[in-house]
Amino acid sequence: MNTISYKDAGVDIDAGNKFVNKIKPIVKTTFNKNVIGGIGSFSGAYELPEGYKKPVILGATDGVGTKLRLAIESKKLNTVGIDLVAMCVNDLICNFATPMFFLDYYATAKLNVEESVEIIKGIAAGCIEAECALIGGETAEMPGMYHGDDFDLAGFATGIAEKEDMDRTSRVKAGDVLIAIPSSGIHSNGFSLVRKVFFEKLKLNFNDSLPFSNQNVIDTLLTPTRIYVKMFKQLRNYINALAHITGGGIVENLPRVLPTGLQARVYESRIKVLPIFEFLSEHVSKEEMYRAFNMGVGMIFVVSPDNADIVLAQTDGYIIGEISSGDKNVLVI
């Protein structure tokens, strides 16, 4: 009788084991003193840091969106893992949570060990920058669900916060200053629109040069999302609230840190729009640009006037507006 193996069905267990062995030393570079054990158990273990009076555990999850399509097609796989970590940990710090550990879910049609290792290298690099440990993950080889070189990534970050520190809206007051912290580029939002402009309308190729960049198209678009964790840790005592500027842009994300009765006044002329957004704006309306992209602002700090100079001196940030009485919205002037 002819028998059928799991490999015949498209799942290579030996390749999976080889992959795990290759990534063990990479993952270990992210460990800190709170990690218990290593890779290979049924779950990851992390000892809670000491010094918290009323600790609260927070979780954040995200993906990379269709930026993955560009990584897949270009075979440049070592940066999207940084994006994955960034999108999660940058959300955590907005609730004043210090990232502790990270888990990833990586699903692919067929496991290519060498390419998959490049993805994990990116995740590990993001975890090191975010000062959190990569304590586990899941790699799923799923023929029939994914096809060809397709894969998907999801990330899960866990942080810890002091309970009394979590409510940031109550700390926001009229007269507070809005400090924009620059993004590194498009980050990981709006790539369906980016791809349509660059590759369907303009018919650009990955290796084409750009008038505003010393990089080619693909390297510019795959610039990884900036991670703001270290900056947060350094300045947390001087910040009233933070807003991570992702999908929805400034106008939809900044209101999430506003209390009832206050609005954010943002001066458009002060925003240091990155060249890539100026390039895109030649083909996309201004309203759509500000709803789809960060426009060069990756994070906004809400800071008391007395602390503004301290924050400005220790960051590359700049003032784009202030808090005033209003209807819990963003007024772009």
Average pLDDT value over all residues in the chain: 93
Which residue type is seen at 103? Answer: L
Give tens-digit pLDDT for 236-283.
999 999 999 998 999 999 999 999 999 999 999 999 999 999 999 999
pLDDT confidence bin for 21, thresholds 50/70/90: confident
| Position 64 pLDDT exceeds 90 | yes
Query: What pLDDT is attached to residue 144?
Result: 86
DSSP lists the bridge partners of residue 45 as 36
Structure tokens at 328: 């819990």
Structure tokens at 108: 């692919």
DSSP state at residue 144 = T
| Position 322 pLDDT exceeds 70 | yes
Residue with the two structure tokens 């609730």? 95
| Position 18 pLDDT exceeds 90 | no
| Position 9 pLDDT exceeds 70 | no
Structure tokens at 205: 């190729």
Helix (H) / strand (E) element for 278: namely: helix 275-280
Q: What is the mean pLDDT of residues 61-87?
A: 96
Q: How many residues does the chain have?
A: 333
Q: Among candidates 306, 290, 207, 210, which has minimal Cα distance to 253?
A: 290
Query: What pLDDT is attached to residue 38?
Result: 77
Q: What is the mean pLDDT of residues 91-120?
A: 95
| Position 8 pLDDT exceeds 70 | no
Query: What pLDDT is attached to residue 39?
Result: 76
Q: What percent of the chain has pLDDT over 70?
A: 98
Give tens-digit pLDDT for 158-210.
999 999 999 999 999 999 999 999 999 999 999 999 999 999 999 999 999 99
DSSP lists the bridge partners of residue 159 as 58, 99
| Position 41 pLDDT exceeds 80 | no
Q: What is the rounded end-to-end Cα distance, in angstroms, of the chain?
A: 76
Domains and CATH numbers, the chain: 13-165 (3.30.1330.10), 169-332 (3.90.650.10)
| Position 14 pLDDT exceeds 90 | no
| Position 20 pLDDT exceeds 90 | no
> Torsion over CA of 255, 260, 261 and 264, rounded to 10 degrees?
-10
| Position 95 pLDDT exceeds 70 | yes
| Position 1 pLDDT exceeds 70 | no
Q: What is the mean pLDDT of residues 90-111?
A: 96
Strand order in the sheet with 297-303: 241-244, 297-303, 177-182, 318-325, 262-266, 330-332
225 and 86 in contact (C-beta within 8 Å)?
Answer: yes
Residue with the two structure tokens 């993001």? 126
Query: What pLDDT is attached to residue 181?
Result: 98
